[in-house]
Amino acid sequence: MADAEHHHKESPVESVMDKITEKIRDHDSSSSSSESDDDKKSASSPSMKDKGFRLFGREKPVHKVLGGGKPADVFLWRNKKISAGVLGTATVIWILFELMEYHLLTLVCHCLIVALAMLFLWSNATLFLNKSPPRIPEFHIPEEPVLQVAAALRIEINRAFSILRDIASGRDLKKFLSVIAGLWVLSIVGSWCNFLALFYIAFVLLHTVPVLYEMHEDQVDSFSEKACMQIKKQYAVFDAKVLSKIPRGPLKDKKKV
């Protein structure tokens, strides 16, 4: 009885002490977990990470650089069947027009002749076989995708015109020299092959270079960083020895009336 009475008297005090210790433990655990969460967030935040050098100064993933969506999925082989089908179709077209010297109008006419002949014979054969005629679907080009493609082309063409105008204004000598060198290389490549072969080469590169770069991104970025440093050093030497010695006339500021 004495033990029971003693336990009964001390139980409220013990319960209060237990609650206090539980609160202290909960506070410590919550503070430690919040600190660990903050450490994880700070470590995973892009502002705290060392981004390092990225090819062409990009800040987005390769998928976003290619525009995202289905075209980027095709270029990066997210769906291997679709990407292989697109590349295979382009290869067949290149073989027909380039190697077999097939003409576009001839190919279209031959395809239409075969398709119409097969559908015509099939439709007449069903009358004798007592079967339902083939269901020929109605094909039509929707307006919205055409307008989207036209708007995207208009934006890119206007951007190209703006870049060419900026280069021709003489504000950036480095950009001018790089564009001239690029056009010169492109003209040499164009003299080696016709437009169709050049277009096919560009198409194949779009289906191979981005996915290979995504697979070996760190190695390519490291190598390109070293290459850019060497190019900058060589350009600094060229600027000091050649470009800086070119005489330039005084620039007169035009006063606005």
Evaluate whether residue 42 is within a structural domain. Answer: no
Give the residue among 193, 161, 190, 166 at the shortest CA–CA distance from 178: 166
> Quick one: average pLDDT of 9-21?
52
Is residue 91 domain-shared with residue 211, that is, in the same domain?
A: yes
Say which residue the tokens 């054969």 belong to: 125
> Quick one: average pLDDT of 135-147?
84
> Quick one: average pLDDT of 39-43?
41
List, as one string, the DSSP characters of 188-209: HHHHHS-HHHHHHHHHHHHHHH
Evaluate whether residue 66 is within a structural domain. Answer: yes
What local confidence, expressed as pLDDT, does residue 216 receive? Answer: 84
Rounded to whole angstroms, the maximal C-alpha distance in the chain is 112
Evaluate whether residue 137 is within a structural domain. Answer: no
Task: Show which of 131, 164, 191 is a domain's final residue.
Answer: 191
> Quick one: average pLDDT of 122-130?
82
What local confidence, expressed as pLDDT, does residue 225 receive? Answer: 82
* Alpha-carbon gap, residue 108 to 104, rounded angstroms: 6
Is residue 55 domain-shared with residue 155, that is, in the same domain?
A: no
Evaluate whether residue 19 is within a structural domain. Answer: no
pTM confidence score: 0.52
Ramachandran assignment for 101, one of left (phi > 0), alpha (psi -120 to 50 degrees), beta (any other): left
Is residue 186 domain-shared with residue 205, that is, in the same domain?
A: no
What local confidence, expressed as pLDDT, does residue 114 receive? Answer: 94
Say which residue the tokens 């564009």 belong to: 179
Rounded to whole angstroms, what are the CA distances from 240 to 142, 195, 234, 235, 250? 58, 40, 10, 8, 20
Is residue 56 domain-shared with residue 97, that is, in the same domain?
A: yes
Helical residues (DSSP H) of 95-135, grouped into ranges? 104-129
Type of residue numbered 36 = S
Evaluate whether residue 132 is within a structural domain. Answer: no
Evaluate whether residue 141 is within a structural domain. Answer: no
Q: Is the Cβ–Cβ distance between 210 and 55 less than 8 Å?
A: no
Name the residue with higher pLDDT: 158 or 98.
158
Is residue 181 domain-shared with residue 78, that is, in the same domain?
A: no
Is residue 206 domain-shared with residue 223, that is, in the same domain?
A: yes
Is residue 58 domain-shared with residue 179, that is, in the same domain?
A: no
Rounded to whole angstroms, what are the CA distances from 107 to 9, 101, 102, 111, 116? 102, 11, 7, 6, 14
> Quick one: average pLDDT of 37-60?
50
* Range name among 1-5, 69-73, 82-86, 173-177 with the lowest pLDDT average: 1-5
Is residue 187 domain-shared with residue 213, that is, in the same domain?
A: no
What local confidence, expressed as pLDDT, does residue 53 receive? Answer: 63
* Alpha-carbon gap, residue 219 to 164, rounded angstroms: 33
Name the residue with higher pLDDT: 130 or 49.
130
Range of the domain at 86: 51-102+193-242
Residue 251 has pLDDT above 90, yes or no: no
pLDDT tens profile 191-239: 887 888 888 888 899 888 888 888 888 788 888 888 888 888 888 888 8
Q: How many domains does the chain have?
A: 2
* Range name among 25-39, 116-130, 152-166, 170-184 with the lowest pLDDT average: 25-39
Task: Show which of 191, 223, 250 is a domain's final residue.
Answer: 191
pLDDT band (50, 70, 90) for residue 40: very low
Evaluate whether residue 217 is within a structural domain. Answer: yes
Is residue 95 domain-shared with residue 204, that is, in the same domain?
A: yes
What local confidence, expressed as pLDDT, does residue 224 receive? Answer: 82
What local confidence, expressed as pLDDT, does residue 33 receive? Answer: 47
Residue 152 has pLDDT above 60, yes or no: yes
Is residue 98 domain-shared with residue 56, that is, in the same domain?
A: yes
Rounded percentage of the chain residues whose pLDDT exceeds 90: 10
Is residue 197 domain-shared with residue 186, that is, in the same domain?
A: no
Is residue 206 domain-shared with residue 85, that is, in the same domain?
A: yes
Evaluate whether residue 134 is within a structural domain. Answer: no
pLDDT tens profile 64-78: 777 777 888 888 888
What local confidence, expressed as pLDDT, does residue 20 receive? Answer: 54
